[in-house]
Chain A
Amino acid sequence: MRNKLEKYRSYFFLIPGLFFLFLFTYLPIMWATWLSFNQWNLLCFKPKFAGMANYVKLWHDAVFWLVMKNTLIFVTVSIFPTMFLALVFAVLIDERMKGRVYYIYSLFYPTLIPMAAAAMLWVYIYSPNLGILNVFLAKLGLPKLGWLGSSSTSLWALIIMTFWKNLGFFMLIYLSGLQNVSRELYEAAYIDGAGWWRRHTSITFPLIAPTSLFVLVTAIILTFRVFDQIQLMTEGGPGNSSNVIVYYIFENGFKFFDWGKACSLTSILVVFLLMLTLLIFGISRRHITYSSD
């Protein structure tokens, strides 16, 4: 009996953390799941069980499908090109001893700036009449672009800004991963006559795979939850052209006060994130071998 209790003594170390983990992560998820089956909005002030009503409503909601499409575009376009260029610049910086610190800082500093501040700066850069981009286009004699104000460019303008914000962060993680790649491999490949590109596709890219996985996970977390720049720069507009899932949850909950719908969107997002987690760990177990730690 005493031995059994002894075993559970370790939980003393865990309980404080578990308590808050439960209170602000798992309890909310369970509650949101329950509420997603309830009607709770301006017409119905108290949660009332409504079965699948919220999900059916979403299925017929054109904005929901647009939001899902925008989210997927935003996530994939922000992740993969950024990762690739981050790796290329990490390699270039890694090979340059001179001016190394300057290059690292010039790429990394946007990561440190609060997203709210970065968003304000870019609202100004994109501003139709006074922004540096349109003034520059005008000086070149080119037509001005609508940037944030036009439904065909708003999402892309946000993607460019997010690229600027995340590039240095990914680059720095890659730079740390490159420290573990042995220089001798490059020497050997060089002697065998492999050019710069060949050396990196055959040595760097495969050996850096575990780091890439880490960057990918970080990037997914960062891009799926995108909110700050959307709220400050476009409010999802014009005409929902830059609306994404987290912003749509915010709109339904805190602007339209349709808590039931907001909770069903939350459940969809949580299921999506959990499936993505499983997928990534499935792939990584099969294809990437870790050094034993």
Chain B
Amino acid sequence: MEEKKYEVVLKIFILQIVGFLMILPFIWLISTALKSPSEVFTQTLSLIPKKFMWTNFVDIMDQAPFWLYMVNTIIVCAGILLIQLLLVIPAAYAFARLDFPGKDIMFLLFVIQIMLPLEAIIVPNYLITKKLGLLNTRIGLILPFVASGFGTFMLRQTFKQIPKSLEDAALIDGAGHLRFIWHVIIPLSRPTIVTFSMISIATHWNDYFWPLIITDVDRVRTLTIGLGMFVQQESGSDWSLLMAATLFVCAPIIAFFLATQRTFIKSFLTSGIKG
């Protein structure tokens, strides 16, 4: 199929413009984070700072415990993912390969949860977490997210595709369900499990609403909430420091993405969604 010359030029032109417009805010962010406050106040459109102020990053650390926030975020994300996998893999296995009464209704309960995000039922969830005495704890930040309808749905689709003959062979060899899951199901479904894990990390690294509601001390705060508090404390006076803090919050997840980009995009494009 030959493309006409003007078509090719037009397409590349559109993609270049859109790509540039999308990326411009981020360049603006990096540039401001490295400028001195006085330069920001000159209403300049210049993207390259006159003087690179690396000290901005030192300054934000003096004003708020960003490293502590990062450690908390890592603990919370890892905790969520670990418990999610422990709950989701057996559930998805049962829905994909076992028969039991009430299966359809149970599956529906899991799937409906996809449409009912925590944000929608934040008030009663807050009341429950308060009753459980989990306000201002990392456990409280983790538990509401561990039962993932999305993960159960996604893994069930993959588990279903594993040939029945493998199961028969394993059962003849005397393996129980747990050994079958551990030695056959998990290794064969690795791409989907990896994809789910990445989506989970990317989602919960960004959580803002829940930590905002249930934490009010620095000890357990996560990065996003730390940033929100930092903004209030600065009250929008010093844009270069605010942007330095913003960049610090974005950097880990972007670095994580760049380090795993191949797996991320590839698994997303191949094993992710099929209709």
User: Which A residues contact B (CB, under 8 angstroms)?
Assistant: 7-14, 16-21, 23-29, 31-32, 35, 89, 92-93, 95-96, 99, 102-107, 109-117, 120-125, 127, 129-130, 132, 135-136, 138-139, 164, 167-168, 172-173, 175-177, 179-180, 186-187, 190, 196, 210-211, 214, 217, 220-221, 224-225, 227-228, 231-232, 246, 249-250, 253-254, 259, 262-263, 266, 269-270, 273-274, 276-277, 290-291, 293
Contact = CB atoms under 8 A, between A and B. Distances in A.
Interface of B: 1, 3, 7, 11-12, 14-15, 18-20, 22-26, 28-29, 32, 40-41, 43-45, 86-88, 90-91, 93-94, 98-101, 103, 106, 109-110, 112-128, 143-144, 146-147, 149, 152, 157, 160-161, 177, 202, 205-206, 208-209, 212-213, 223-225, 227-228, 231, 236, 239, 242-243, 245-246, 249-250, 253-254, 257, 261, 265, 268-270, 272-275
Contact of B87 (A16, A28, A104): A16
Task: Say what secondary structure dominates the interface of chain B.
Answer: helix
10 contacts: A10-B103, A11-B100, A14-B94, A17-B87, A32-B124, A135-B43, A172-B269, A196-B7, A225-B120, A270-B120
Most central of B149, B253, B273 by chain A CB within 10 Å: B273
B227 A117 contact: yes
Contacts of A190: 1
B116 A266 contact: no
B88 A17 contact: yes
Closest A-B pairs by Cβ, 7 of them: A28-B124, A20-B147, A210-B275, A225-B119, A13-B90, A10-B100, A13-B94
B19 A211 contact: no
A132 B19 contact: no
Nearest to A291: B275
B257 A116 contact: no
B145 to A, nearest CB: 8
A246 B22 contact: no
A249 B113 CA distance: 19
A230 B209 CA distance: 11
Contacts, number: 277
Given A32-B121, A106-B22, A293 B147 contact: no
Given A20-B147, A277-B115, A262 B269 contact: no
Most central of B32, B117, B126, B143 by chain A CB within 10 Å: B117
Contacts of A122: 25
A169 to B, nearest CB: 10
Nearest to A33: B124
A117 B224 contact: yes
A17 B116 contact: no
B25 A164 contact: yes
